[in-house]
């Protein structure tokens, strides 16, 4: 029994934190997020050089060959510093390729992803952002072509490669579609969280054949979505911890009525509650990440519990972070507001708390 991180994992955390602190502190984050692409090509390349883009890609395909329990360490750190990058999208796509791709597909794409040459994104859902399988409605034509729009595809604007979910008759299917194939177009949409990009993937008669089909069924699709929940929750932890740190420090420094405001229970008890929530969804997340590789049958339940708990808690933390700062927290210049925006971004990603709690009830036999 050991529910903690190894020394290697602690070192990995230190390394990523140092890299981000040195190269992408808040002023840099703000600069990157104002650029049209929303990403720094230079930092992305450095991520690749550090082995982070190939972290869970097997060594034979140019990666490091680690597991999701290692990956979440990195994600907590990217979340902590609001690092703007397509890291979740690309890693999720890579993880799916590792599991569902054939030898040729893996050989073609995985080394490209690990080396930073290919940014990948997942275009799964259609009508709305609820991650239910019946929300995959795009259907392949009898000529084996795909035509339609996938909206709210994270990082669509900068991705070179897409994993596109669709229906083939009654079956679910997943295709690899490169950005430069004929009939593929994308547009980028801004959201209130400028450190994250979303967009639309437009497909016009894009032909699909065996070479770009992955081995996917409903179960594999569900697993992909569950991993997405885990990845987003990991970033939520890091971001929520930053809010707690910033706000706790502010509560020690800001004097009103002759004392630091952190002396007053209206302030300190809220911070204690935030600590309780972060500790708790941390435990839930770590376990969910472990189940991905070690106990897949438990993944749906554990991912849903983590994402449900975190979605509500982080939104409350974002609001409280601003509120406890007073007016300064409302200013564009002060960083805490960026975390509030991140919490709004993270809530619906891969399902909000209503969706996940409903799923937990169903899995629990109600």
Q: Summarize as ranges the residues that interact with other proteins (CB under 8 A).
A: 1-5, 69, 244, 248, 251-252, 259-260, 262-265, 267-269, 271-273, 275-276, 279-281, 283-284, 286-287, 290, 294-295, 302, 305, 308-309, 354, 356-362, 364-366
Quick count: other Cβ atoms within 10 Å of Cβ 104? Answer: 9
Please, what is the minimum distance in Å from the beta carbon of residue 287 to other proteins? 5
CA distances (Å), 9 to each of 5, 67, 74, 78, in order?
A: 6, 11, 9, 15
Which CB sits closer to other proteins, 36 or 296?
A: 296
Phi-psi region of 183 (alpha: psi -120 to 50; beta: other; left: phi over 0): left
3 state SS of 184: strand
Nearer to other proteins (CB atom), residue 87 or residue 286: 286
Q: CB of residue 75 vs other proteins: minimum separation in angstroms?
A: 16
CB-nearer residue toward other proteins: 59 or 276: 276
Q: 């302030």: which residue's tokens?
A: 267
Nearer to other proteins, 93 or 285 (CB): 285
Residue among 231 and 244 whose Cβ is closer to other proteins: 244
- Write out the two tokens for 290: 């472990």
Give the residues across from 206 on adjacent strands: 146
**Closer residue to other proteins, CB minimum distance, 275 or 330:** 275
Determine the Cα–Cα distance for residues 116 and 46; give it in Å rounded to an integer.
9
Q: Cα 72–192–75 angle (5° rounding)?
A: 5
Measured N-to-C along each axis, helices 68-80 and 7-23 cross at an angle, to the nearest 10 degrees, of 30
Could you count the other beta carbons within 10 Å of the beta carbon of residue 245? 11
Closest CA to 321 of 253, 239, 258, 263: 239
Q: Are 216 and 174 in contact (CB under 8 A)?
A: yes
> What's the rounded Cα separation, in Å, for the pair 12 and 126?
37
Shortest CB 303 distance to other proteins, Å: 12
- CA 20 – CA 275 distance, rounded (Å): 24
**How near is the Cβ of 359 to other proteins at its closest, in Å?**
8
Judged by beta carbon, residue 172 or residue 308, the one nearer other proteins is 308
Nearer to other proteins, 27 or 364 (CB): 364
Element (H, E) at 148: strand 145-150
CB of 298 to other proteins, least distance (A): 10
| Minimum separation from the CB atom of position 254 to other proteins (A) | 12
């Amino acid at each position: 029994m050991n529910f903690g991180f190894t020394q290697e994992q602690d070192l990995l955390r230190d390394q990523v934190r140092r890299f981000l602190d040195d190269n992408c502190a808040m002023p840099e984050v703000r600069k990157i997020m104002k650029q049209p692409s929303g990403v720094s090509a230079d930092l992305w390349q450095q991520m690749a050089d550090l082995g982070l883009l190939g972290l869970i890609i097997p060594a034979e395909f140019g990666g490091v060959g680690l597991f999701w329990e290692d990956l979440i360490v990195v994600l907590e750190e990217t979340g902590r510093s609001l690092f703007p990058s397509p890291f979740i999208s690309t890693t999720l796509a890579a993880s799916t390729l590792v599991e569902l791709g054939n030898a040729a597909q893996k050989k073609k794409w995985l080394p490209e992803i690990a080396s930073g040459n290919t940014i990948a994104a997942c275009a799964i859902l259609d009508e709305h952002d609820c991650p239910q399988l019946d929300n995959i409605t795009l259907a392949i034509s009898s000529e084996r072509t795909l035509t339609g729009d996938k909206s709210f595809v994270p990082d669509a604007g900068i991705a070179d490669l897409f994993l596109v979910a669709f229906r083939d008759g009654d079956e679910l299917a997943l295709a690899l579609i490169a950005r430069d194939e004929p009939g593929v177009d994308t547009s980028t949409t801004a959201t209130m969280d400028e450190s994250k990009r979303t967009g639309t993937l437009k497909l016009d008669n894009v032909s699909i054949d065996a070479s770009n089909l992955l081995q996917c069924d409903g179960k594999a699709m569900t697993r992909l979505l569950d991993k997405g929940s885990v990845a987003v929750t990991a970033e939520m932890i890091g971001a929520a911890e930053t809010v707690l740190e910033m706000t706790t420090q502010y509560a020690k420094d800001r004097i009103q009525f002759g004392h630091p405001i952190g002396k007053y229970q209206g302030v300190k008890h809220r911070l204690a509650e935030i600590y309780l929530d972060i500790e708790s969804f941390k435990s839930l997340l770590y376990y969910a990440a472990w189940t991905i590789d070690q106990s897949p049958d438990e993944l749906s339940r554990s991912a849903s519990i983590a994402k449900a708990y975190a979605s509500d808690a982080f939104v409350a933390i974002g609001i409280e972070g601003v509120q406890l700062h007073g007016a300064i927290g409302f200013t564009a210049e002060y960083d805490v507001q960026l975390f509030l925006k991140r919490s709004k971004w993270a809530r619906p990603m891969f399902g909000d708390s209503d969706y996940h709690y409903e799923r937990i009830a169903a899995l629990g036999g109600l």
